[in-house]
Amino acid sequence: MPRPPAPPVSADDADIADIADTADKAVAARHPYLAVLGERVRTLRQRRGMTRKALSTAAAVSERHLANLEVGLGNASILVLLQVAQALQCPLASLLDDGSAPSRAGAARPLRVALIGLRGAGKSTLGGMLADALELPFIELSREVERLAGCRTGEILALYGQTAYRRYERRALQEALRSHAQAVIATPGGLVSDAGSFDLLLAQCRTVWLRASPKDHMERVLAQGDLRPMSASREAMDDLRRILASREALYARASLHLDTSAQPLPQTFALLRAQLLPA
């Protein structure tokens, strides 16, 4: 009796076994090192909360090639592995380590750190401090958006609308990632609402959600001299709480979370640095 056709293969993690089943002979003959390499790539991808599609986009490698790589069938070139390592934000040695060299876990500093969260969470303050401590460039993405547009954020929104702003924001993010292999990036609070930009950020940066109480958010914005939150609505605090609630699930996708209301600034920075650079 002829063998029934195999079911279609999805691109999710659950299809690993199905892909392997369709290549029984190849799997049986695969080199043990390729199997270890594939497991290492898959583990690093899952730790970063990335789908294979997201990694494919970030690394500019086809999903099928990544699928084969993860099940130990990929005879990957060094260039492909370099692209995958860069997209996973890890040294190439993390993929190639065969156990013969001593472990240096925690020794390397993160290549790119992106701070996300609502305005007033402390992204500019802590981002500047972190960039100074790590001797990395500090990029405030909102300023890059204004540079590209040639006008202030309020003018972009008033003249061209939200869609145009998101387009400038995506372009600014792409330029920052392309120009800086290492950097600390403070992102606009609403970037997480654009799925394409947020997926790109998650794929190519170590993301940290800086969160604060609604009261602290409001007080910090007012302390910066911006009275718009109060003038725009008599129920500004309720509006702020609604925005926080609507974005909480998105912000929570960050790999690290830090409450900036829980302790004074010096201790907050110490916690941030300790999370990013464990001893």
Q: What is the pLDDT of residues 165-216, one digit of tens each?
A: 999 999 999 999 998 989 999 999 999 999 999 999 998 999 999 998 888 8
Of the candidates 216, 167, 209, which has an alpha carbon nearest to the alpha carbon of residue 189? 209
HEC string for 47-63: HCCCCHHHHHHHHCCCH
Mean pLDDT of 208-233: 70
Q: What is the pLDDT of residues 75-106, one digit of tens each?
A: 667 667 777 777 776 666 666 654 444 444 34
**CATH 1.10.260.40 domain position(s) in the chain:** 13-96
CA–CA separation, 61 and 83 (whole Å): 8
For residue 201, the model assigns a pLDDT of: 93
Q: What is the pLDDT of residues 258-268, one digit of tens each?
A: 999 888 999 99
- Asked if 203 and 112 touch (Cβ cutoff 8 Å), the reply is no
**CATH annotation of 112-276:** 3.40.50.300
Mean pLDDT of 125-131: 94
Mean pLDDT of 140-150: 93
Of the candidates 72, 95, 45, which has an alpha carbon nearest to the alpha carbon of residue 203? 45
Report which residue type is found at 201: L
Mean pLDDT of 1-5: 48
Q: State whether CATH 1.10.260.40 applies to domain 13-96.
A: yes
Sheet holding 112-116, edge to edge: 138-140, 183-186, 112-116, 206-211, 256-259
**CATH 3.40.50.300 domain position(s) in the chain:** 112-276
For residue 30, the model assigns a pLDDT of: 55
For residue 93, the model assigns a pLDDT of: 65
